[in-house]
Amino acid sequence: METVEMNSVSLKRPCSEDDVANADEIKRQKILEKSKAGNDSGQSIETVTEQPVDMKSEIIPNEESEEQEEEELEDSDEDGDPESFADMMKHGLTESDVGITKFVSPHKGFSGILKERYSDFVVHEIGKDGRVSHLDDFSVPVDDEVNSEDPSEETFTVLSDEDKQRLEELQLFKNKETSVAIEVIEDTKEKRTIIHQAVKSLFPGLETKTEDRDGKKYIIAYHAAGKKALANPRKHSWPKSRGSYCHFVLYKENKDTMDAINVLSKFLSGKSPQLTLADLRKTWQLKASIVKPNIFSYMGTKDKRAITVQEIAVLRITAQRLAHLNKCLMNFKLGNFSYKNHPLKLGELQGNHFTVVLRNITGTDDQIEQAMHSLREIGFINYYGMQRFGTTAVPTYQIGRAILQNNWNEVMDLILKPRPGAEKGYLVKCREEWAKTKDPAAALKKLPVKRCVEGQLLRGLLKYGMKNIISAFGIIPRNNRLMYIHSYQSYVWNNMVSKRIEEYGLRAVPGDLILKGATAVHIEEGDVDNYAIHDVVMPLPGFDVIYPKHKIGEAYKEMLVADNLDINNMRHKIRDYSLSGAYRKIIIRPQNVNWEVVAYDDPKIPLFTTDLDKLEGKPLPVLPTDGKFRALKMEFSLPPSTYATMAIREVLKMDTSIKNQTQLNTTWLR
């Protein structure tokens, strides 16, 4: 099987003075020169992966007062004129800039539009048991119906305002009273029961009992377990027979996983401005019942511009309470509730199943059949997709390289300096101020959204000073800091895999690496016929990996030397930034591959039904047999940490970078 290179010339932005390559960069470019190639033209396509990539999406604790305003600012700047966006993206990366240059199939490429509508890209999580997550049941477990913590409407009206004030002061230990007595005016068993329920549900941590005083009935409220009950009220009302974690399926549209969890926690805490009084009654939210995002767990993050279905677990929140959110949330649905004794762990999933529509395809039936058969039988190169490297003129791998070089002034400069390309207006002003004054306080004043990476670094510089950049950088959340160095590892891996395929093609050769269990070993001359290209792995650089015993092993060393790094010493003086390395298969063969070509006239109509459509009984639109346009409907399953767009790239033979997408087609911005 022969490999195919991308042929057309990639567009590069003019170099500014800041961008002029130094001697090391020139040396590195020469080393990589042979594995670089141009790109075939095609239509727009956008990356959807497991990896969170928005370096500005992490919410910093204790900034809740600013959070809503910042989100509105971010959202208001999200959509703009597609033409101006395309113009700004001229300064972005292309695939060849990050080492993505090869194909495995010789078929001729064709064009198609991915994500003309975000609903053209659907991701279903595959759990560790191999079960594909689907939303197909809104009902709550019988356990909830018996032990429902959901208060009735009368619960909110049975207590007077004076009673509520006294109960709140008791609950929050604001006075010296040890109990509060509430007289039962209309003494019936039903009335007493409602008052008991109202106190316990509206003021978690309080218990009640009935007493006779002077011939009258009183409900006495008191603390169940001191201040500990107030700190964790759910602990004292949760049935012992019920699992501590409510697992549910989250169906979301056009929202990434972390944003979705932040929204759920806000609604459950009653902090959303969209909640009406009726919503509050239904969702039962109080000051003593703040729900933090860290009580949610999940197996993998899913990207924004798609419909995704995944399992979530949350600690001691009932299914009843979660189910009520379906009445007040936009673009979310929760269902398939169950109780279990364990949370979910990141990485536990087997992978994801993708349903993808490529609209307005130009390929012939033969081209499509060849492309899809190749995808099913051979697979695609397991490159790290464009989303791994950021979307601006300063790629994330450059920052990662500077961290590994211990060049902290360059780290600071790369994050904060002005850059051409697509950025929000306030970021541009912040960068300009920084370039002019190098004053963190002045630059921070230009930045209303202070939880972005730039804001976090500037706050760190204010706190620790310009001579302690390491500590200032440490204010950025750990996952985001590590993302930079992982981006550099990915950059090296992509380049080395392209070089490996260029040098040896799609066959296993002596000196390649394969995994035996979790251990990497070299293929020996006498064993080479026992292995195929699908068995071969290549290392991400680190102190705990071995390298191929052929030309590519030397190429790794040369590339790191050009970057002023020692491949034999990947331990950093700051432990967090020490790279142990890992192994990654170079070719992935998708499972459960199916496809169909359909005709359509209206680009806005859906071409398949989602889980929500099925639950709501929505029929699939009747499609014409001879429509103006054709679409390719694809389905396939991939393991974790593989990029669906790299599979689609292999089918279409096109550059998946946003730079290329926006130059060719801006319809994905709708």
Q: Catalytic residues, which ones?
A: 303
Instruction: With H, G, I as helix, E, B as strand and everything else as coil, classify residue 389.
Output: helix
Inter-residue contact 115 to 305 (CB < 8 Å): yes
Residue 453 burial (C-beta neighbours within 10 Å; 0-12, 13-18, 19+): buried
Q: Where are the alpha helices (DSSP H) in 549-643?
A: 551-562, 611-615
Angle (deg, nearest 10), helices 189-202 and 161-171: 50
Question: Within 10 A of 28 (CB to CB), how many other CB atoms are there?
Answer: 21
Residue 376 burial (C-beta neighbours within 10 Å; 0-12, 13-18, 19+): middle
Query: Among candidates 11, 366, 320, 289, which has minimal Cα distance to 151?
Result: 320
What gap in Å lies between CA 221 and CA 233, rounded to an integer?
15
* Tokens read off for 493: 């891996």
* Tokens read off for 111: 């064009």
What gap in Å lies between CA 152 and CA 202, rounded to an integer?
11
539 Cβ contact partners less than 8 Å away, ≥ 6 residues apart: 493, 513, 520, 545, 546, 547, 556, 581, 582, 583, 584
Q: What angle do CA 582, 586, 592 make, to 5 degrees?
A: 110
H/E stretch holding 200: helix 189-202
Inter-residue contact 93 to 385 (CB < 8 Å): no
Residue with tokens 């070509």: 597
Give the C-alpha distances (Å, rounded to integers) separating 17 from 14, 355, 417. 10, 45, 13
Q: In 58-134, which ranges are E strands?
A: 102-103, 113-114, 121-126
H/E stretch holding 598: strand 591-600
The number of angstroms, rounded, from the C-alpha of 132 to the middle of its chain's C-alpha atoms is: 19
What gap in Å lies between CA 670 and CA 666, rounded to an integer?
8
Instruction: With H, G, I as helix, E, B as strand and everything else as coil, classify residue 178.
Output: coil
* Tokens read off for 549: 């015993």
Inter-residue contact 444 to 459 (CB < 8 Å): yes
What gap in Å lies between CA 100 and CA 424, rounded to an integer?
28
Beta bridge partners, 208, equal 221
Inter-residue contact 374 to 650 (CB < 8 Å): yes
Residue with tokens 């949610």: 296
Number of residues written out for the chain = 670
Give the C-alpha distances (Å, rounded to integers) separating 200 from 229, 242, 473, 486. 12, 19, 46, 49
Inter-residue contact 555 to 598 (CB < 8 Å): no
